[in-house]
Chain A
């Protein structure tokens, strides 16, 4: 038997009668499953999801749903095709046995696989004090149930809403509150909204946008505690500057945590920053060796990107989930020579205070920024981010039709500042300025690896997952 023959033969067999398990029944999991069927996978397909719902779309949850214009349980993702899967919904995966190729489930069951796709995504970071977080009226926003609960709380007409954290989700929530005519306070530890994602120059525009729309924006402060009334309902929040804000709805919007705990001890390279994988979506084990039967896609994946210095990027982007799922599914059913790298250029959008915000590339890599078109004052512009003399990202406010151009420039590693003239270049667009990202904080809660043993044969690695 030649090795090629074996390989092709086993791939054919996999396609015909193999067992593929997808953990994570959301956007990435569903799209991957559809692609596998499109590519002729005829074996058994198991979809595991911890929520009881079939895959649904999240972007509407912080937008139309909060406005009451869409109903949370009507956001099911459209199906591209039937996937004929064995659905295990409402049951979390709790463990992985890599040697036995088996996923363990919360109800005691186990499912065996020939190929595994992990697309468990992220969840909302909860309020650090569990007791305060459990007060009635305190919400996070990630799932369909979260969206529905928060929508109901807003519809009830609270006297004031407090949003903790002014990232994209927090800002969209504040925007929805204002659109509903609700008083809202936003507390942000940084100097401005969106500053972590887009830097201080753009953050200042976002701050102005918040204030002009009647948001009580407090920056440079932290919420130190939440206070409840005797009935267990939130009534106030205390701030690091000594002030107090009374609110009967509090939305904790402090970013996301990756759903990787279920993999601890499995030997897979999974931790708080995601699951490391190669550009072809194959997961690394803790030794840094790539697996060939375990793939990763979506928010939980961390993969090196050739265009951005092979940085390991983990992206919570809708488009990334779709593209990466497609690549993972393709590679799972391909011989090595036919595999494709995941080369998606990061892109996301947001809608807040009536402004359409879109970005391509990796803005936080940028050290400088230039307003290439339009004007900050009009809140209608395109801005380019520069990193070591090249264009690394761009963002548009109400100007998204130009974005494909900047994407192409980023892909072509175009120089920064851009040496060409454009339509709508204003005086402020002649000189780059510092992009003003906050100093990178020290993420010390990462996993550690310790080595033991002396000779190459008994050299051992021990993996300790982060906090």
Chain B
């Protein structure tokens, strides 16, 4: 039953609207059958597991199971990169995350994200001006022409990746993001090989860059990761490599999807789009509600129990694989009134869109700022925008879910 439902969720045919399947899933807060994962789909249960120290993010603690929906588990083994802090537990996770945070956020760098605002504004304006220059307003692909290049440029600027190398990153990032997708029909060997190659090439490229920055540091994050020597000491080259690869990948697909899901939702709710046009500050609550309503990360498929844990009357045994269905928890009617309604005026919106607990989204402040700026500028500049396909074609990925293309048209673009 669970397996069947999970397969349906992963099935590409249901990508455009998985929410009725989540609703079905929530009838059993913790569901499990056969050798599959324990799937947790209700808000409070997910939230408490995200704060539960008996849950590990380290795949080493996973008991090997026969029928593995993810196709492969040890996608990082055998490559040159050690696991990033996303896949580590404390104390290693805490140390690496802390060291990464030093150049990125408070208390040591409280202004890093804020100070990027002007640069983000310039990037957004440039991309929208680029759409004007094509002269084709009757068919704009908002993904290729805006939502994808924007965060990619931002993460490259943040890390200090030379602009001319950006295109190579797209290829690597796409291959790596694809490897996170539990697609049962894809050829796991082939996909694993692709991801491994991409990771290898990316690693070698970053290693070269880190070596350069050690000799001649700038004020970009890569320099700071490469040369930092705070209370936690310095990062090894391997740690700096896996951390910067993580920032790069996590900074890629997620924000693209947040912006694209956001525009899609706004075009489906023209009255909200109109309000945003008149009041750019509305972007703040709109983005929060989007993170609840259409979260870019739909589920976390890589947690493991260190002990037997009782959740909602079900005992999850030690060493089991646990999937936390964030997007389903976000639509749990026990937590949110009218959960299937997109309502930017919603109060008390503590969603799971950015996770919670020690692994909560590292890049959240940047992602929020990017999405707020992108959506309010698109709302302001596009005249009479409309969807050309609803639903639009989606990416294969069921974990990092979002449209592959978002074809829209508009009557003009304001200066």
User: B152 → chain A, closest Cβ, in Å?
Assistant: 30
Q: Which A residues from 414 to 447 make CB contacts under 8 A with B? A: 419-424
Q: Which A residues from 272 to 331 make CB contacts under 8 A with B? A: none
User: A282 → chain B, closest Cβ, in Å?
Assistant: 28
- Given the known interface contacts A373-B53, A424-B89, the answer about A401 and B306 at a Cβ–Cβ threshold of 8 Å is no
Q: Which of A403, A405, A419, A420 contacts B48 (CB 8 A)?
A: A405
- Given the known interface contacts A374-B90, A374-B91, A401-B358, the answer about A423 and B56 at a Cβ–Cβ threshold of 8 Å is yes
Tell me if A402 and B51 are in contact (CB < 8 A).
yes
Does residue B307 face the partner (Cβ distance < 8 Å to A)?
yes
Total B residues in contact with A, Cβ cutoff 8 Å: 20
Q: Which A residues from 386 to 418 make CB contacts under 8 A with B? A: 401-405, 408
Q: Which of A404, A408, A421 contacts B306 (CB 8 A)?
A: A421
Q: Which of B48, B91, B107, B306 contacts A422 (CB 8 A)?
A: B306
Q: Which of A354, A408, A423 contacts B89 (CB 8 A)?
A: A423
Q: Which residues of A contact B52 (CB under 8 A)?
A: 405
Q: Which residues of A contact B55 (CB under 8 A)?
A: 423
Q: Which of B53, B54, B306, B308 has the most CB of A within 10 A?
A: B53
Does residue B94 face the partner (Cβ distance < 8 Å to A)?
yes
Does residue A259 face the partner (Cβ distance < 8 Å to B)?
no
Does residue A382 face the partner (Cβ distance < 8 Å to B)?
yes
User: A212 → chain B, closest Cβ, in Å?
Assistant: 12
Does residue B393 face the partner (Cβ distance < 8 Å to A)?
no
Q: Which residues of A contact B90 (CB under 8 A)?
A: 373-374, 423-424
Tell me if B306 and A420 are in contact (CB < 8 A).
yes
- Given the known interface contacts A402-B358, A405-B53, the answer about A424 and B48 at a Cβ–Cβ threshold of 8 Å is no
Q: How far is the CA of A403 from the CA of B358 in the complex (A)?
A: 11
Tell me if B53 and A423 are in contact (CB < 8 A).
yes
Does residue B357 face the partner (Cβ distance < 8 Å to A)?
yes
Does residue A37 face the partner (Cβ distance < 8 Å to B)?
no
Q: Which B residues from 62 to 104 make CB contacts under 8 A with A? A: 89-91, 94
Q: How far is the CA of A401 from the CA of B357 in the complex (A)?
A: 5
Main secondary structure of the interface of B (DSSP, over half): loop
Q: Which residues of B contact A403 (CB under 8 A)?
A: 51
Q: Which residues of B contact A402 (CB under 8 A)?
A: 51, 53, 357-358
Q: Which residues of B contact A380 (CB under 8 A)?
A: 91, 94
Q: Which residues of B contact A372 (CB under 8 A)?
A: 53
Tell me if A422 and B51 are in contact (CB < 8 A).
no
Contact with B along A363-386 (1 / 0, CB 8 A): 000000000111000101010000
Q: Which residues of B contact A423 (CB under 8 A)?
A: 53-56, 89-90, 306
- Which partner residue on chain B sits nearest A354 by CB separation? B107
Tell me if B51 and A420 are in contact (CB < 8 A).
no
Q: Which residues of A contact B53 (CB under 8 A)?
A: 372-373, 382, 402, 405, 422-424
User: A440 → chain B, closest Cβ, in Å?
Assistant: 32
Q: Which B residues from 82 to 141 make CB contacts under 8 A with A? A: 89-91, 94, 107
Q: How far is the CA of A45 from the CA of B47 in the complex (A)?
A: 39
Q: Which B residues from 26 to 60 make CB contacts under 8 A with A? A: 47-48, 51-56
User: B334 → chain A, closest Cβ, in Å?
Assistant: 16
Q: Which residues of A contact B51 (CB under 8 A)?
A: 401-405, 408
Q: Which residues of B contact A419 (CB under 8 A)?
A: 307
Q: Which residues of B contact A401 (CB under 8 A)?
A: 51, 357-358, 360
Q: How far is the CA of A420 from the CA of B53 in the complex (A)?
A: 10
- Which partner residue on chain B sits nearest A398 by CB separation? B94
Tell me if B48 and A408 are in contact (CB < 8 A).
yes
- Which partner residue on chain A sits nearest B91 by CB separation? A424
Task: Give A residues with C-beta under 8 Å from B.
Answer: 354, 372-374, 378, 380, 382, 401-405, 408, 419-424
Contact sample, A vs B, 11 pairs, CB 8 Å cutoff: A354-B107, A373-B53, A373-B90, A401-B358, A402-B357, A420-B309, A422-B54, A422-B307, A423-B53, A423-B54, A424-B53
Task: Give B residues with C-beta under 8 Å from A.
Answer: 47-48, 51-56, 89-91, 94, 107, 306-309, 357-358, 360
List 20 additional A-B contacts (Cβ < 8 Å) besides A354-B107, A373-B53: A372-B53, A374-B90, A374-B91, A401-B358, A402-B358, A404-B47, A404-B48, A408-B48, A408-B51, A420-B54, A420-B306, A420-B309, A421-B307, A422-B54, A423-B55, A423-B56, A423-B306, A424-B53, A424-B91, A424-B94
Closest 8 CB pairs of A and B: A422-B53, A420-B307, A424-B90, A423-B89, A404-B51, A405-B51, A421-B306, A401-B358
